[in-house]
Amino acid sequence: MKSLRSVIACGAALAGILTLVTFPAAAQTAPASATATSQAATAPVTPPLRPPPAESFRAYDRPSDDGSAIIVEWAKPEKETEGDYYVVEIARDPNDFAAGRFETQVVKPSPKALKYANPQYFASSARNRKLYYAEVSPGALLHKEEPFTLTAEKVEQLRKEGVLSDDEADRAVSVLKTAEAKKELSAAEKRDAKWCEFLKAHLTKRAKELAEAEAARINATTCYFRLAAARGTGPDQQKAYVVRDGEPVIVSASAHWNVLKVFKLNTLLFALCFSAAVLAFIHIARRNPNLFIRKIPGLEAVEEAIGRATEMGRSVYFVHGLNPIGSLSTIAAVNILGRVARRSAEYDVRVRVMNVDPIVTAVSQEVVQQAYTEAGRPDAYDADDVSLMASDQFSFVAAVSGRMVREQPAAVFLMGYFYAESLLLAETGASTGAIQVAGTDAFTQLPFFVTTCDYTLIGEELYAASAYLSREPRMLGSLRGQDVGKAFLMAVIVVVALALTVGIAMGLDVAWLRNLFKAFS
C-alpha cells in the first residue's frame, strides 16, 4: 500500500514537470492577457472632435471701432475636452482655402474668450455666455509688413517709382557704397551720410504709412473665414471643420469705421444730462438772481475784513500763490481779487497785491485797475500797489513777511496754490493781528491755513468764490448745476451699490448694471 502511494506521487510530479516543459508560453500568456484586458477596461476613451454647429458660425464687423477688426463667433459646446482648441482660417478669396493660401488664428477655450467677458463691445446677456468669439484683423494677418532696409536695389526701385529724384538716388547710392568701403569719411561725406540717415528715416516712415494704408484697405474689403475644432499640434494635428452638406462652411465679412462708439453711450448720456442741468439753472438764475447757494463763511467774511480795514485806516493785503496764470487756482484767485479790489475802492481802502510771477502781476494790475474804474474811482488806483515781490519762493516769503511786519495790515487774503511757504505767511499775518482769509486747493497746505487763519476756503470753495461774490447768472447757474450733478452722482453710487449687493446675494445676473456705469477707454 505504501509503495502504491509512492508510485502515484511520483507520477503526479512527473506530469507537472512535463506540463511546464511542454507548454511554457501558455503559462505566461494567461496572466498577460488578463492584464491587457484590465488596462483596456480602465483606459479613458478620448471623445471624437465635434465642430460647432454651422448655424452658430458667423462673421461680422466689430461694433463701435475704427474698422480694424472683424468678429468671428460660434457656439460653445456643452462638454469640452481638455486640450482642444479652435482654428480660424482667413483668406481673401474662397478658392484660396483649397490652394492653401490662408492665415490662421488660434483661439483657446476660456472664460475670457466668451462674448460675455467683453462688455465693451457686447451685451452682458445670458446668450453671450454661450458664444465664443475671435477678434480678427485681416490686414495684420494677410499683409506681412517687412522691415524697411535702405539698399542700392531699394534706391533704384524708389527711383523707378518716382519717389526719389535722380539726384537724390545718385547721392544715396554714393553714400551706401562709401559706407560699404568702410574708409575714413571726409567732411563732405559725413554730411552726405547724415543726409542719408534723414532720408532713411523718412522712407521708413513712408513705408510704415503705406503698410497701414494697405492693411486698412484689406480690412475694408470682403474677407472669408473657416472654422475648425482642433486637437494636437504639428503632424499630429487633427481638425474637424464646421460643415454644411458635407462641405466646410465659409462665411464672409468686411470691417468698416463706426461713427458712434456705443460702449461710450453712457458717458454721452450723463454729459447731456449734466449740461441740461447747468443750462436750466443758468436760465433760472437769470430770472432769480437770489438763487440759493449755501453760505460759505470765508466769503461772507470778505465784507467784514474790508470793513475792519476801513475802520482801522490800514491796508488790505492780497497774496497770490506760487503757480502761474495757467493754474486753475490762480485764475480763481484773480477772480476773487477783482471783487476784493472793487469793495476796497468803494470803502477807500488801499489794497496791496503781491505776486511771484510777472504774468500774474500784469493780469492783477489790469484786474485791480478795472475794479477801481467800476467803483467810480479810477484816480485812486496806484500801479505800484500791485507789485512783483520776487521770483524765488523763499525770497518772496521774506519780502512779503517783512512788509506785513512793517505795515501791519488789517486784513490778509491768501488765495491760490501754496507750497512750503504757506505756514510762514500765515503765521506772520497772524502775528500782526490781521483778519486772515485763506483759500487753496492744495490739500497738503490746508491744515496750516485752518490752524492759523480766521477763515479757510477748502478745495472747490475757492472756485465757487467768484460766482458766490458776483452773483452773475451764468456763473451762479453753472455752480448750482454742478452741485445738482454731484448730488445725483452720489445718490446713484449709493443706489447702484445697494442694488449690486442685493443682486449678487440673490444670485442674479447684475453685470449689465455694473457695465452701465463703467467708463470704457
pLDDT at 5: 52
pLDDT at 179: 76
Task: Write b or e for each residue in 101-127: b if 16 or more Cβ atoms lie within 10 A of its Cβ, otherwise e.
Answer: ebbebebebeeebbbbbbbbbbebeee
Neighbours of 226 (CB within 10 A): 23
Q: Is residue 18 over pLDDT 50? A: no
Q: Is residue 408 over pLDDT 90? A: yes
CATH topology of domain 297-470: Rossmann fold (3.40.50)
With vertex at residue 127, the alpha carbon angle to CA 49 and CA 247, rounded to the nearest 5 degrees, is: 35
Cell numbers that stand for 229 in this block: 475644432
pLDDT in tens, 49-59: 889 999 999 99
Q: Is residue 121 over pLDDT 80? A: yes
pLDDT at 366: 94
Which of these ranges, 18-32, 376-390, 483-497, has the smallest mean pLDDT?
A: 18-32
Q: How confident is the model at residue 262 (pLDDT cuts 50, 70, 90)?
A: confident
More confident: 24 or 476: 476
> What is the mean pLDDT of the segment spanning 380-394?
90
pLDDT at 266: 81
pLDDT in tens, 146-201: 788 888 888 888 889 888 898 888 888 888 888 777 667 788 888 888 998 999 99
pLDDT at 459: 85
% residues pLDDT > 70 (the chain): 90
> What is the mean pLDDT of the segment spanning 253-269?
85
More confident: 467 or 380: 380
pLDDT at 440: 92
Average pLDDT over the chain reads 86
pLDDT at 183: 67
Q: Are 85 and 106 in contact (CB under 8 A)?
A: yes
pLDDT at 463: 86
pLDDT at 369: 94
Q: Are 480 and 293 in contact (CB under 8 A)?
A: yes
Q: Is residue 10 over pLDDT 70? A: no
> What is the mean pLDDT of the segment spanning 501-518?
80
pLDDT at 25: 43
Which of these ranges, 225-229, 252-256, 510-514, has the smallest mean pLDDT?
A: 510-514
CA–CA dist 135, 60 (Å, integer): 10
Residue 456's DSSP bridge partners are: 438
Neighbours of 328 (CB within 10 A): 12
pLDDT at 251: 96
Q: 416 — alpha (psi -120 to 50), left (phi > 0) or beta?
A: left
Where does CATH 2.60.40 sit in the chain? 59-144+220-259
Where does CATH 3.40.50 sit in the chain? 297-470
**DSSP secondary structure of 204-264:** HHHHHHHHHHHHHHHHHS-EEEEEEEEES-GGG-EEEE-EETTEE--EEE---B-SS-GGG
Give the class (CATH, top level) of 59-144+220-259.
mainly beta
pLDDT at 182: 64
The model's pTM is 0.61
Q: Is residue 33 over pLDDT 60? A: no
Q: Is residue 357 over pLDDT 60? A: yes
pLDDT at 42: 53
pLDDT at 187: 83
Alpha-carbon distances, residue 292 vs 282, 304, 455, 461 (angstroms): 13, 21, 21, 15
pLDDT in tens, 126-147: 888 899 999 999 998 888 777 8
Among 120, 129, 111, residue whose Cα is nearest residue 516: 120
